[in-house]
Amino acid sequence: MKPPLSPFLHSCAGRLFILVAGTLALAGQAGSLAAAPAQPTNIVFIMADDMGYGDPRCYNPASQIPTPNMDRLAAEGLRFTDAHTPAAVCTPTRYGFLTGRYCWRTRLQNMVLWSEYEEPLIEPTRETVARVLQRAGYRTAAIGKWHLGLNFAKPGGGFVRGKTTHMSGAGGTRDVDFTQPIQGGPTALGFDQSFILPGGINLEPHFWIENDRVIGKPAVWRNTNAPTRPGTSGLEVHEGWMTEGWSDEAVGPTLTAKAEAFIAASAAAKKPFFLYFASQAPHRNCTPPDFARGKSQAGVRGDMVYEFDWSVGRVLAKLDELGIAKNTLVIVTSDNGAVPKSDEGEDFSHKSNGALRGTKGGLFEGGHRVPFLVRWPGHAPAGKTNASLVVLTDLMVTFAQLVGQKLPAGAGLDGWNVLPALRGAAMDASARPAVVLHSGAGLFAIRRGLWKLVFDASLKPTQLYDLEHDLFEEKNLIGNEPAVVARLQDELMQIRAAK
């Protein structure tokens, strides 16, 4: 007998509400132009690294991790139950959020960048969410994990090119001129300022970059799987250059302090602002700071989720302190689904993706259905659940609509305006263009309404699920609905061919 839906998934499994015609009319796309509000809304977008649908307690009451600040956001705003990343791993999702395009339209056809010594994925002329908001008069900042490629100078000229495969963390890049400015990063793409971790917490190189300059001198060679403090995790750490005194445990608090400082400076300047705050938590290697250790019942990974929630709380507190919370749209989400176990090799009876099938990297729902919390006082209703289908590639188009900016032709190709949903409307999933999902291995799935079709490596349809009645993807209907399969297969080919 099929088990009943758990409380936190119950709203996901129900039928998505039909959007009334008047609301649907608001959902104009990239070329539409809306009147900008008299007082521009500040935008804070906070992205976790590998936080799953079952991590926050507002999504999963049985979570072994206290998440009071995300729970507060759910109580004060909207909790989306059908929000997705365009890919089940991090680099392509970050590309998708910033450009409104699927990353498989670039040279990166699977997995992630394994080193930041790579040609930037976002071309200098590409429209980005930061450029859109910058043109609208916003101060813009990127703080946190970048992981989209950077141009580091090579001694003697040209740019360094690092490893292109995982290689178990080996193959670090040694010949780099760190005295030269970094090119192709956030400040070349519409961000007024940046303070970034070049890749993930585990990837080379291991230092800070502020506004295109390396902070400190990277003179320490960090070995594969080496922690920065004895007794802490070094799981999945890649060898490479590191600055003296670098501490994995200090990464989260440092980024949080920088985010608070940017908010305060923007408020002092009396200008609207956009903050892209990309946390390192709870990605491996899991190294929670001392104040977060033991706060969860889910090992060091759970403690890192607690740390992420703490960062969210610090941002909310800063907005309150400055008296600007009422005019700030806050979105909290993740770059993909979660891994099932902590660094200790156990799950501690914690279901990081809830009852969803699958994990980070895969096309089952657990790989890409993520928490998505929205607080927007005076615009979004408080304490409500929204079952609208939202994808992170939608946000550039949506923010352009919010601030009254018309996008250039072809920009935000894979986005859809979900501003009505951010205001609490229930948008019909079948009324929007189909959504293409991408796995770490480079496999495709397509979502149209509540149908989901999965393909193998040769683009042959192999699995079909009716998510309205089978959210946990237990019954493959590939042989039962030939018309649905044919229609979705044709739609995927059309989307892949679009430029």
Model pTM score: 0.93
Residues 454 and 384 in one domain: no
- Tell me how far apart the alpha carbons of residues 266 and 259 are, in angstroms, rounded to a whole number: 11
Q: Mark which of 402, 428, 454 sits at the end of a domain.
A: 428
Across the chain, which has 499 residues, the per-10-residue mean pLDDT values are 38 35 36 56 99 98 98 98 98 98 98 96 97 98 98 97 92 97 98 97 98 98 98 98 98 98 98 98 98 98 99 98 98 98 98 98 98 98 98 98 96 98 95 96 98 98 98 98 98 96
Task: Answer yes or no: is 474 within a domain.
Answer: yes
| E strand map for 219-298 | 220-222, 240-242, 273-278
Does residue 386 have a cis peptide bond before it, meaning omega lies within 30 degrees of 0?
no
Per-residue model confidence (pLDDT) at position 39: 86
Which distant-in-sequence residues (6+ apart) come within 8 Å of 33 by Cβ? 404, 405, 406
Task: Answer yes or no: is 293 within a domain.
Answer: yes
Per-residue model confidence (pLDDT) at position 131: 98
Burial state string for 244-261 with b = 16 or more CB within 10 A and e = fewer than 16: eebebbebbbbbbebbbe
Number of domains in the chain: 2
- Tell me how far apart the alpha carbons of residues 55 and 343 are, in angstroms, rounded to a whole number: 16
Q: Which two tokens stand for residue 255?
A: 């980024």
Q: Mark which of 428, 456, 489 sits at the end of a domain.
A: 428
Structural domain boundaries, residue 374: 32-428
Residues 149 and 188 in one domain: yes
Per-residue model confidence (pLDDT) at position 390: 98
Which distant-in-sequence residues (6+ apart) come within 8 Å of 401 by Cβ? 28, 32, 34, 417, 419
> CATH number, domain at 369?
3.40.720.10
Per-residue model confidence (pLDDT) at position 11: 40
> CATH number, domain at 457?
3.30.1120.10
Residues 378 and 487 in one domain: no
- Contact between 68 and 298 under an 8 Å Cβ cutoff? The reply is no
Residues 128 and 219 in one domain: yes
Task: Answer yes or no: is 343 within a domain.
Answer: yes
Per-residue model confidence (pLDDT) at position 38: 65
Longest dimension (CA), the chain: 68
Residues 163 and 284 in one domain: yes
Task: Answer yes or no: is 142 within a domain.
Answer: yes
